[in-house]
Chain A
Amino acid sequence: MVGKVIAKKVCMVGPFAVGKTSLVRRFVDSIFSDTYLTTIGVKISKKPVAVNGDQVQLMIWDIEGVDVFTELKPSYLRGASGVLLILDGTRPKSVEMAAELSNVLGEQLPGVPVVGLLNKCDLMYEWKLGESDIEGLEALGISVIKTSAKTGRNVELAFELMVNKMGLGSGVPESP
C-alpha cells in the first residue's frame, strides 16, 4: 500500500543570527555559507521525509530572528506541529532571549513539541554555554541537542527527533 502524503508545519524560532536559515539550508539543500544574510519575514522550504511508510512533507518556516526591533509574530506559529528553538552556543545572550521565546511558544502553541538546538557547536573555543543553561531549557520542557549547520553535525538528527516528537515517527497516531 502506498502511504499518503501528509504536510506538517515546523517553525524555526530564535534570536537573530543564531543560524536558523543556515540549519534549514543545511537540512534541505546540504549547503552552508559563512556569510550572514539576515532573514526578513518568513521563508518556507519543503522537504519530504519518510516516516513509517508515510511520506511526510515538512513545511519548514524559517522565521526572522528576534531582536530589539523584531518580535516573534504569533500568527507565524499558527498550525505548527513542532518548533525548533535555536540558540547560539557562543552567545550567552541568546539563552536569555530563548527563555523569553519559550514563554511565547507555550502560550501560542500549548502542547506542541519544542526541540532546542544549541547551534554552532563547531566553535568549541568560543563556546560559552554551560550545563546550567541546558538544564534551564530542559526545565522548561525543551529537549536540547547541539548542532552545527557548518559541519552538519546532528542536523538530520534534530529534524528526525522533531518528527518523532510530533507523534509521527513513533507510529503513535496524532490526537484529532
Chain B
Amino acid sequence: MSILEGIIEELGVAALVKDGAYFRLVNAQSGWFRDLLASLSCPVQEDGSIVDSESLCHAFPFIENFLIDAEAAWGESGAKTVRSGIWTETDKSGCEHQLEAKACSVNGVPVLLIENHTTTFSEHHGVYQKARDIALLNEKLVSELNQRQRELQSEIERYILQEASIKGVAESVKGHTSAVMICQPNGQIEMINKALIDIYQMDDVDLKRVSLLDQWVSEAEAQYPELKRVIENGSYWEGEFESKSGSGVDRWVRLTIGPVKEQDGQISHYVCVANDISEFRSLDTSSGSDGGYDFTTHLPNRRHFWRHINAVAEGGLTGDFGLGLMYIDLDYFKRVNDDLGHQAGDFLLSAVASRISRSVKHHDFVAHLGGDEFVVLVRYIEEVSQLDIVADRLLESIHEPLFVNGQSISMSASIGITINVESSFDPALLVRQADLAMYAAKELGKGQSRFYDPAMECNIPHKLQRERELIDAIDRQEFVLHLQPQISISGEEEVRVEALIRWQHPDHGLLPPADFIGIAEESGLIIPMGSWVLRQACGIGADLLSESKKICIAVNISAKQLRHPDFYKTLTNILSETSFPASQLELEITESCFLEDLNAVILLIEKIRKLGVTIALDDFGTGFSSLNYLRQLPVDYLKIDRSFIQGLEIDRESQAITSSVISLASELNIDVIAEGVETEAQFDFLRCRQVNFVQGFLFYRPLSLSALLKSYGQIKLLNDENKFNKPQ
C-alpha cells in the first residue's frame, strides 16, 4: 500500500476513477469498501481494482441515481464537487454503514469518492435527533398549553358561579403557572396571582393601578377588532398578541377572557387567564414558519385573513363584480365546549370548518378567526341574492347533525353579511360591518343571517326594536296559529295536529317562529306569547269538538315557560276556561327542559300528565342526551328531529339513529312521531320501521284553521288507509 493509499484509507474514503464503463479503485486495498462490495454480491475483478458501472449501480441503487448528477459535474469543465447526501447501506450481516458519495474532476479525470461516515455518524445523528425531539416536544407543549388554559378558564368561571367567591379562586390559583386576573366590567381588578406579576414585572399595587383589561383590549384590537364587542356582549374570547410589560420588554401572551354573568344576565366579572408564550413564539419564528393557519381547523388564521383582505383591497376590485364578506359565529358553542369537553369542542370546530369550506366556491376565501368565529370572503358576485343563497347553504350545512362521543348534536350559527361594490374599500370597515350584522343576527334569535344595515350603527339595539314590536304584536293580536296534521300509520283513528305560531308582521308579512322566538325567549315575552298559543289552541280544539270533530292538539312549550312558577296554574286555568278535555291536549317539550333541575321538572311533568295531558319530547336526538337517558323521562311521544329524517336518504348514521330510536321507544312503550317527512322514500323507510305517526310536507303543510276544516275528512281517510297498509 502506498502512503497515499494509506491516507485515503485512513480517511475512510474509497476513491474511484471513472474510465468508460468501468471504475478503477485507486486505493485497491480498501478493506471496508471491498468487504461491502462483496457483501452486496458485487463482482469485482481479481485484483480487486476494477468494478463495472452496471454492477456498482446494481449494488448501490443510490449511486445509480447519484451518477446522473455526477455525470453533469464531470461533463462541465470547472464544475464544483457535487455531494450525494448521506445514505445508509445494510450489509449481509445486517450492519449498517453510512456513506456519502462525491463527484469531482481531478485534472479533467472524473473521480467518484465514497466516504464512510459510520464511525462519526452517531454524533452527527445525535444532534439531529435532539433537535427533532425538541421540536416535537414544542409542538406538543403548545397544544397542551392551549388546552389547559381553556380548562382552567372554565373551571374558574364555574367556581365563581357555584361558590360566588373570588377569595376561593385567589387561594386556589395562587401558585398556578398560568396568570389569572379577575376584574369588574369596568376593568377594576379584584384579584391577580403571582404568575401575572411575573409576566408584567410589576408589583400588584402598580398592576392594580393600570387597567390591564383596557391595555389588553387596545393591544389586541389591531388584530382582533371585535374583541371589545365580544366580551361586552358576554361571550368568551381567546387570542394571542404582543403585550407591553413593566420592564418595557414586549411579551407575547395568549389570553382567554370569559365573562361571568349574574342571574339577570348582567356581567359581574371577567375572568382572564394569560400565558407568556414568548418562548414558543421565538422558536416558531426562528423556524421561519409564520403559521398562518389555525391550529385546530387548519384554515387560514386571523393574521392570514388580514394579509389576504389587505392584499385584495390593495389590488382593488375590477369589473362588474363585488365582494361579499360573511362573518360566521357559532351559537352556544361555549356551552357545548363546557358540556362535552374541549376535545369534543375542537372536533366540532374542525367539522364546522370543513362544512363551511365545502359550502362555498373554491375561489372564495375561508378563514378561522379563532374561537368559534369564521369569515368567508366571497368574490365575484353579480347579485346580492347570491349571497343569500350561500348564507342559507352555510346555515343548513352547519346545522346538520354531528356525532360526538356517541351523541348527536346540531350546531347553529349566526351570520352577518356585508357587501362592497366600490373598486377601493377599507377592509377594517368591511369587517366591522359584517361583525355588527352578525351581532344583529344573534340578537334576532340566532341561527340566521342578516345583511349589514346602517341602522345597526345607531345605539338602539336591534333586539330592543324587535322586542317592542313583539310587545305590540301581543297587544294587537298579530299572531295566528297554523295546524299541521300528523298522520297515523299504526291505526290510530284520531286526528292529530301540531299548533305552530306565525306572526303576521305589519311590514314584513307572515314570519316563521325562527324570526322571533329567540327574542321572545330572551326578553321573557315567551311567557305571555306561550299562554296565548295555549289558550288559542285549546279554544280551537273545543270549537271543533263542539262540531263533533274530535282532535288532539300538540302545543310547543319552551323551557322558560315550563319553568315559570305559574305554568301549572295557567295550564289548568286555560283548560277549564275553554272546557277543552285535557286528554286532547299534548305539550311538546324539548330536551333542554331537562337540562336544569331534572328531578323538579320530572315531578312537574308527572303532575301535568295526571291531568290527562300527554307529553311529547320534541327535536329528539339533537340535544345532549343519550338514548339511555330517555328511560328516565316521563313522556308519551317522541318526535325524531327532522334533520335525521332528511338524512335518511343520504347517510347511514341518520338511518341507524332513526332505527334505534324507534326500537328503543317501542321497548319503552313510547309512540314515535317523525317530523319533516318530505319524500316517499323517507316515508317507506319509516313505515317499515313501524313509526307511529308522520308529519311533513309529503302529507300536509301547516294549515290555517279553515284549510284544516276542509281537509278533516281526508285526514281521517288517510289514517284509515295506512291502518290497512301497515306492514306485518
With A42-B62, A42-B87, A128-B346 already in contact, the answer to whether A36 and B298 are too (CB < 8 A) is no
Contact of B135 with A by CB under 8 A: yes
**Size range of the chain A interface in the assembly:** 35 or more
With A17-B136, A92-B298, A131-B350 already in contact, the answer to whether A68 and B86 are too (CB < 8 A) is no
Contact of B119 with A by CB under 8 A: no
With A40-B98, A96-B293, A132-B298 already in contact, the answer to whether A69 and B61 are too (CB < 8 A) is no
* A76 and B61 alpha carbons, distance in the complex (Å): 11
Contacting pair A41 B129 (CB below 8 A): no
Contacting pair B295 A67 (CB below 8 A): no
* Complex contacts, B288 vs chain A, CB 8 Å: 68
Contacting pair B131 A69 (CB below 8 A): yes
Contacting pair A135 B132 (CB below 8 A): no
Residue of A nearest to B289 (CB): A96
**Per-residue contact bits, chain A 100-133, to B (CB 8 Å; 1 contact, 0 not):** 0000000000000000000000000100111111
Minimum CB–CB distance from B573 to chain A (whole Å) comes to: 52
Minimum CB–CB distance from A81 to chain B (whole Å) comes to: 13
Contacting pair A130 B88 (CB below 8 A): no
Contacting pair B86 A40 (CB below 8 A): yes
Contact of B422 with A by CB under 8 A: no
Pick from B131, B293, B354: contact of A135, CB under 8 Å: B354
Contacting pair A130 B357 (CB below 8 A): no
From 118 to 139 in chain B, residues with beta carbon under 8 angstroms from any chain A beta carbon are: 121, 124-125, 128-129, 131-133, 135-136, 139
Residue of A nearest to B292 (CB): A96
> Is the contact region of chain B dominated by helix, strand, or loop, or is it mixed?
helix
Contact of A151 with B by CB under 8 A: no
Contacting pair A43 B87 (CB below 8 A): yes
* Complex contacts, B295 vs chain A, CB 8 Å: 92
* A43 and B86 alpha carbons, distance in the complex (Å): 9
* Complex contacts, A91 vs chain B, CB 8 Å: 139
Contact of A3 with B by CB under 8 A: no
Contacting pair A42 B132 (CB below 8 A): no
With A40-B86, A41-B88, A135-B357 already in contact, the answer to whether A92 and B287 are too (CB < 8 A) is no
* Complex contacts, A78 vs chain B, CB 8 Å: 65, 68
With A40-B125, A42-B87, A135-B358 already in contact, the answer to whether A130 and B297 are too (CB < 8 A) is yes
* A132 and B358 alpha carbons, distance in the complex (Å): 8
Contacting pair A44 B62 (CB below 8 A): yes
Pick from B66, B68, B69, B354: contact of A131, CB under 8 Å: B354
Residue of A nearest to B129 (CB): A38
Residue of B nearest to A131 (CB): B354
With A130-B297, A132-B298 already in contact, the answer to whether A67 and B132 are too (CB < 8 A) is yes
With A75-B65, A135-B357 already in contact, the answer to whether A41 and B351 are too (CB < 8 A) is no
Minimum CB–CB distance from A66 to chain B (whole Å) comes to: 11
Contacting pair B293 A44 (CB below 8 A): no
Minimum CB–CB distance from A6 to chain B (whole Å) comes to: 14
* Complex contacts, A75 vs chain B, CB 8 Å: 65-66, 68-69, 85
Minimum CB–CB distance from A123 to chain B (whole Å) comes to: 12
**Per-residue contact bits, chain A 71-99, to B (CB 8 Å; 1 contact, 0 not):** 00101101100000000000111011000
Contact of A37 with B by CB under 8 A: yes
* A133 and B294 alpha carbons, distance in the complex (Å): 12
Contacting pair B88 A43 (CB below 8 A): yes
Contact of B347 with A by CB under 8 A: yes
With A43-B87, A133-B298 already in contact, the answer to whether A67 and B354 are too (CB < 8 A) is no
* Complex contacts, A36 vs chain B, CB 8 Å: 129, 132-133, 136
Contact of B296 with A by CB under 8 A: yes
B interface with A by C-beta (< 8 Å) = 61-62, 65-66, 68-69, 85-88, 90, 98, 100, 121, 124-125, 128-129, 131-133, 135-136, 139, 143, 286-289, 291-293, 295-299, 343, 346-347, 350-351, 353-354, 357-358, 362
Please name 13 pairs of A and B residues whose Cβ atoms are closer than 8 Å in the assembled complex, sorted by A: A16-B135, A38-B129, A40-B86, A41-B100, A43-B87, A75-B68, A93-B139, A95-B293, A129-B350, A130-B297, A130-B347, A132-B354, A135-B358
